[in-house]
């Protein structure tokens, strides 16, 4: 077996385009997924039993079904149910926004619940409403504690976006499949792509470890 990277190198721009698309899907899924996760967490923590149960069901449903099944459902099934033109891009964004929001909701909930009850009482004592206490007192502290879990989840999301290649969205994985078929060099193509993912994700992991240590030093973190 002889390694020959020539074919990969001449078409490297195709892989870079895929990488950009991978980052695009991840970024957009975060953009929609995080606020949606916060909403779900607040609903789940709500005093109204019915609202809380409904939010809990949505969260559990999206956490316990495989992301690939969700992606297929949004891509193949949803357009029949409601009259929309579904593209691989939209299906990918919708799936990963909702899927990651279920996980972010649990991170938000953990963060909010970790805040001492006295903080709520303090807010109430100086006349703040629930929403005001949440926004001004509880969330700022909770978010700081959530950062490590949040970063870990975002890295998981980045890895999971490889699934979008199965509905033919041109992410890095899809470009790799394409290039491997065109060049008859699957060994080199997939190895290079694995290395690209590794470099990106390893760098992000190291960054998140560094941030975790910083937070641990400044106190008020769940990491000891």
Of 36-44, 73-81, 107-115, 215-223, the window that binds another protein (rule: CB under 8 A) is: 73-81
- Using CB under 8 A as the binding rule, whether residue 48 contacts another protein is answered as no
- Provide the mask over 164-193, with x wherever binding to another protein is found by CB under 8 A and - wherever it is not: -xx------x--xx--x-----xx-xxx-x
- Using CB under 8 A as the binding rule, whether residue 68 contacts another protein is answered as yes
| Interface with another protein (CB under 8 A), residue from 72, 89, 120, 130 | 72
- Using CB under 8 A as the binding rule, whether residue 83 contacts another protein is answered as yes
Exposed/middle/buried for residue 209 (C-beta within 10 Å: 0-12, 13-18, 19+): middle
Instruction: Look at residues 178, 162, 167 and name the one whose alpha carbon lies nearest to residue 19.
Output: 162
Give the C-alpha separation, 200 to 203, whole Å: 5
Structure tokens that stand for 218 in this block: 């400044």
Instruction: Look at residues 41, 29, 39 and name the one whose alpha carbon lies nearest to residue 70.
Output: 29
Which is closer to another protein, CB of 6 or CB of 198? Answer: 198
- Using CB under 8 A as the binding rule, whether residue 85 contacts another protein is answered as no
E strand residue ranges, the chain: none
Which residue in this structure is represented by tokens 């937070």? 215
Q: CA 192 → CA 32, 78, 92, 172, 189, distances in Å? A: 31, 35, 24, 11, 5
Which is closer to another protein, CB of 48 or CB of 76? Answer: 76
Nearest distance, CB of residue 20 and another protein, angstroms: 17
Instruction: Look at residues 158, 147, 149 and name the one whose alpha carbon lies nearest to residue 198.
Output: 158
- Provide the mask over 10-29, with x wherever binding to another protein is found by CB under 8 A and - wherever it is not: --------------------
- 8 Å CB contact between 79 and 85: yes
Could you list the residues that contact another protein (CB under 8 A)? 1, 60-61, 63-70, 72-73, 76-77, 80-83, 159-160, 162-163, 165-166, 173, 176-177, 180, 186-187, 189-191, 193-194, 197-198, 201-202, 205
């Amino acid at each position: 077996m002889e390694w020959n990277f020539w074919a990969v190198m001449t078409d490297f721009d195709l892989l870079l385009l895929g990488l950009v698309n991978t980052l695009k899907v991840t970024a957009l899924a975060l953009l929609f997924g995080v606020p949606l996760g916060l909403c779900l967490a607040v609903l789940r923590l709500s005093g109204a039993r019915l609202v809380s149960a409904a939010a809990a069901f949505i969260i559990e449903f999206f956490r316990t079904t495989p992301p690939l099944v969700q992606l297929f459902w949004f891509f193949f099934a949803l357009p029949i149910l409601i009259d929309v033109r579904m593209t691989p891009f939209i299906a990918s964004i919708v799936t990963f926004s909702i899927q990651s929001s279920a996980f972010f909701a649990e991170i938000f909930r953990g963060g909010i619940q970790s805040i001492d009850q006295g903080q709520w009482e303090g807010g109430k004592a100086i006349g703040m409403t629930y929403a005001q206490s949440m926004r001004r007192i509880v969330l700022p502290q909770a978010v700081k504690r959530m950062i490590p879990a949040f970063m870990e989840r975002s890295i998981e999301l980045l890895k999971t976006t490889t699934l979008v290649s199965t509905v033919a969205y041109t992410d890095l994985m899809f470009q790799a499949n394409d290039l491997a078929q065109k060049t008859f060099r699957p060994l080199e193509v997939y190895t290079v792509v694995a290395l690209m993912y590794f470099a990106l994700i390893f760098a992000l992991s190291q960054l998140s470890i560094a941030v975790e240590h910083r937070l641990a030093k400044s106190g008020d973190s769940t990491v000891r």
